[in-house]
């Protein structure tokens, strides 16, 4: 699904030199490479504060801790996504409120958010799924009307833009009150281990978050807030420093691959390709995900695997059906889109190193199944 080896071969000298700086300095935690990455990412995103941390799941949890959400507060998020998003809500003894998604973009449904709001609702967590920006104008309007926090789960969409109705283009993850991302190796900007970061333009919130990631300390052995141990290590920061200048090129490569895939499948009655907005900047294609209609998706997956083509189903089971998150509040009729998507979606290889020959082979193999 990803080709990190080929990507590394092209940047190995830069990556190796960056890591060697860490080894020479012996500053493995919060060293110069971490500070450099923080500043570079702030500049890239156009956000006042980046707080690096240990992984994307921690980033979400720390963001919620920083906002002072209390046990029992309701947090609305999408049913069709990876479990980390709802996991941290439950870990903090908040109340997850899962809602359906929209068919055309697979992101959280605006109408479903509106229906789910109660007096206990305190936050919305939109997930920019598969690299496609959610409708942040509508989400921020709802949040303003009901005095809610917006926590952007940007683990799959770093580098994507959202142009608001005001005509201003902003990086996703920087539009809500706080954003969180992951640098898991397969992400569009990935390190060679675990890593994450939190973004905000709120000075007071940023100060709180910086304490939380470091055991609640601003001064050594003075614990001012309840915190955790979640720091991006210097070796991972070194890798990210080598890759961040290439992020736009990496995303362009993904977008170009997506266009070629979609061209190859154009007009096929059983294949629905990802909806690409007029400005492709909205979508950076962490995944290229098809919907297979009136055909056997699982048989297609077996066909591709026999031909040596990696593929995956993101996600096979809705969160509201997962054992850990079962709740009598959820009714199947509230999730028609999610329940349909889990039967139809299949993701094809998507990474920076895909070439025309590989794309053609994959497209031809998919079409061969239907023929």
Please list the active-site residues.
Answer: 187
d(C-alpha 336, C-alpha 208), whole Å = 39
Q: What length is written for the chain?
A: 371
Provide the pairing of β-strand 149-153 with 121-125.
parallel
> Phi-psi bin for 59: left (phi > 0), alpha (psi -120 to 50), beta?
alpha
Q: DSSP class of residue 273?
A: P
108-to-79, 149, 272, 335 alpha-carbon distances in Å: 8, 16, 19, 11
Tell me whether the omega of the peptide bond preceding residue 315 falls within 30 degrees of 0, making it cis.
yes
CB 186 within 8 A of CB 131: no
The number of beta carbons lying within 10 Å of the beta carbon of residue 276 is 16
d(C-alpha 237, C-alpha 51), whole Å = 12
CB 348 within 8 A of CB 300: no
Which token pair is 193?
Answer: 């281990």
Which token pair is 282?
Answer: 């909205």
Q: For 59-85, give the DSSP string.
A: HHHHHHHHTT--TT-EEEEESSS-THH
Task: For residue 178, list its beta bridge partners.
Answer: 151
Which token pair is 258?
Answer: 């997506």
Q: Using alpha carbons only, give the angle 36, 37, 42 rounded to the nearest 5 degrees.
A: 105
d(C-alpha 276, C-alpha 274), whole Å = 6
Residue 178 host element (H or E) = strand 178-182
d(C-alpha 187, C-alpha 4), whole Å = 10
């Amino acid at each position: 699904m990803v080709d990190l080896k080929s990507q590394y071969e092209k940047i190995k000298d830069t990556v190796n030199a960056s890591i060697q700086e860490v080894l020479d300095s012996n500053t493995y935690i919060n060293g110069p490479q971490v500070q450099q990455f923080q500043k570079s990412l702030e500049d890239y995103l156009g956000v006042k504060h980046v707080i690096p941390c240990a992984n994307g799941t921690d980033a979400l949890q720390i963001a919620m801790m920083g906002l002072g959400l209390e046990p029992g507060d309701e947090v609305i998020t999408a049913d069709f996504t990876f479990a980390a998003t709802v996991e941290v809500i439950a870990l903090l003894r908040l109340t997850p409120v899962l809602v359906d998604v929209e068919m055309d973009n697979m992101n959280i449904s605006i109408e479903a958010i509106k229906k789910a709001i109660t007096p206990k609702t305190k936050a919305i967590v939109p997930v920019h799924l598969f690299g496609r920006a959610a409708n942040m104008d509508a989400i921020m309007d709802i949040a303003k009307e009901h005095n809610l926090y917006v926590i952007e789960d940007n683990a799959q969409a770093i580098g994507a833009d959202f142009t608001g109705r005001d005509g201003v283009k902003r990086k996703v993850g920087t539009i809500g009150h706080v954003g969180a991302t992951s640098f898991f190796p397969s992400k569009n900007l990935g390190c060679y281990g675990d890593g994450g970061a939190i973004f905000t333009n709120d000075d007071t919130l940023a100060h709180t978050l910086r304490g939380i990631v470091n055991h609640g300390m601003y001064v050594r052995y003075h614990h001012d807030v309840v915190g955790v141990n979640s720091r991006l290590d210097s070796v991972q920061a070194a890798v990210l420093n080598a890759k961040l200048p290439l992020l736009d090129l990496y995303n362009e490569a993904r977008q170009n691959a997506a266009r070629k895939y979609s061209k190859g499948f154009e007009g096929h009655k059983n294949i629905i390709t990802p909806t690409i907005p007029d400005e492709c900047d909205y979508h950076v294609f962490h995944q290229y995900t098809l919907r297979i209609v009136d055909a056997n998706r699982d048989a297609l997956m077996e066909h591709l695997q026999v031909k040596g083509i990696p593929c995956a189903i993101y996600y096979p089971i809705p969160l509201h059906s997962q054992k850990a998150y079962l709740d009598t509040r959820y009714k199947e009729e509230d999730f028609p889109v999610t329940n349909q998507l889990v039967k139809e979606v299949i993701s094809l290889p998507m990474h920076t190193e895909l070439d025309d020959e590989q794309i053609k082979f994959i497209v031809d193999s998919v079409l061969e199944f239907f023929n």
